[in-house]
Amino acid sequence: MNYRRVPTVDELYADDEALILTDVRAVRVSGIGPKLLAILSDQWQSESALVAGMEELFGSPDTGSARDHVVGALTQLLDQGLVESDDPVDGIALAT
């Protein structure tokens, strides 16, 4: 599955948290979410590429697999409306 960021109005980063302003509300992002947002862009990226990018920039997690951490964070970002996937069921948009 591929993922990309949706456009935002403004973003604020502090410590391990981020605040993202969309057209409708301010959304708080914590955990590895802010780091993942830094890697995501408006271009589609595969889950594998995102896992590799996170490991390259931030190393492996202390516990669990990097993939599990990234998938969990992506699911949360999808729920928060900050990311879309090309999954026709769970995602917002279809890849073109």
Partner 1 sequence: MSPDLRFLDIEALGVPIRLHVKAEPDTAASILDELRHAWQLCTTTGQPPTRHLLIWLSDDLAQDPPHGFDGLAQHRNLPHLLQIATQQITRLAILGNAGRYLMLHAAGLAHPVTGDAVAFVAAGGTGKTTLCRTLGPKWAYLTDETVAMDQSDQIVPYPKPLSIREPHRNAKYETAPTDLGLKVPTVPARLRSIVFLERQPDWAGPIQVTDLPVFDAIVELTPQSSSLNRLPRPLHLLAELHARLDRVSKVVYGEAATLEPFIADLIGAAR
Report the interface residues with partner 1, using CB under 8 A: 9-12, 14, 17, 19, 21, 23, 25-26, 28
Residue closer to partner 1 by CB (options 34, 51) is 34
- Backbone φ and ψ for 7, nearest 5 degrees, come out as -60, 145
Q: Minimal distance in Å, beta carbon 19 to partner 1?
A: 5
DSSP string, 1-49: -EEEEPP-SEEEEETTEEEEE-SS-EEEE-TTHHHHHHH--SS-EEHHH
Residue closer to partner 1 by CB (options 28, 60) is 28
Residues 6+ apart with CB under 8 A from 38: none
Q: Minimal distance in Å, beta carbon 43 to partner 1?
A: 24
Q: Minimal distance in Å, beta carbon 81 to partner 1?
A: 14
Residue closer to partner 1 by CB (options 61, 81) is 81
Residue closer to partner 1 by CB (options 21, 94) is 21
